[in-house]
Copies of this chain bind each other. A is one copy, B any other.
Amino acid sequence: MELSRKNEALLRTLRTRHGRRKSGCCLCEGVRATGELYLRRPELVRFTVVTGRGLAAAGEIPGEICRVSEERFAEFAATVNTQGILAVAEIPPEPDPEEAPGAPFLFALDRLGDPGNFGTICRTLRSTGLDELWYTKGSIDPYGDKAIRAALGAQFALKLRSFDTLDRLAAAAARFGYPEVCLTDPHRGENCFTAPALFDRTVLVIGAEANGVGELAGARRVTIPMPGNYESLNAAQAATVFLFEYVRRATTCR
């Protein structure tokens, strides 16, 4: 099928937050990211733009397929070394506010601004088998094209919930039976490797790169011991340490 003018016009608006908000759609580029989208949320796919090469690399593609030349594809692609496939999909709606999470603990991001870090965190979370990712407003748009590329589409496998403030996030968590908030702090707090019950009906909050995590009355603070005495790890590395400390405890401390 040809790429219609209407679809082309839509596609061109989706690299801006404004364009995504107006249309309710997002742009998913690359073989792995579209593969995750097709597998997890096929019902959201509007159409796929693909070259012969992209078609050969992809599995089954749900919905409308628009075949274009490599030259034409390059006009739309954000990356220089394109993989010849991109999809336009509806942005997944958030879970029903009444739908209780099933996760042992909730993982949350407070005003995380970098799409690369956000994407890495989505992939890491996905690899631990957890599926709830909560975040405060002021974080990066989880469905921006950079965030989707960095996550290789892992956000389509997660349940994302957004909140205006950390207070509201904590209140919602408490309502679902996750009363204790643990703020990760680069400088002070309990040692994350020895802190008791760190992943036991808690909310674990990772802060923004530059400013760290916000304040919240009554919250625990947890820190990663850093013998190198070096300025803090980036947010994605810190998230990895916490998430795999959870895996370690879950798989070895029985």
Contacts and interface: CB of A to CB of B under 8 A. Distances in A.
Interface of A: 116, 120, 123-130, 154, 191, 193-194, 224-230, 232-234, 236-237, 240-241, 244-245, 247-248, 250-252
15 contacts: A120-B234, A123-B237, A126-B230, A127-B233, A129-B226, A129-B227, A130-B228, A154-B230, A191-B252, A193-B247, A224-B244, A224-B247, A225-B251, A233-B240, A241-B241
A250 B230 contact: no
A237 B234 contact: no
B127 A193 contact: no
Contacts of A191: 251-252
A240 B234 CA distance: 11
A185 to B, nearest CB: 15
Contacts of A124: 233, 237
B129 A233 contact: no
A116 B247 CA distance: 25
A128 B229 CA distance: 8
A123 B230 contact: yes
Nearest to A226: B127
Contacts of A245: 244, 248
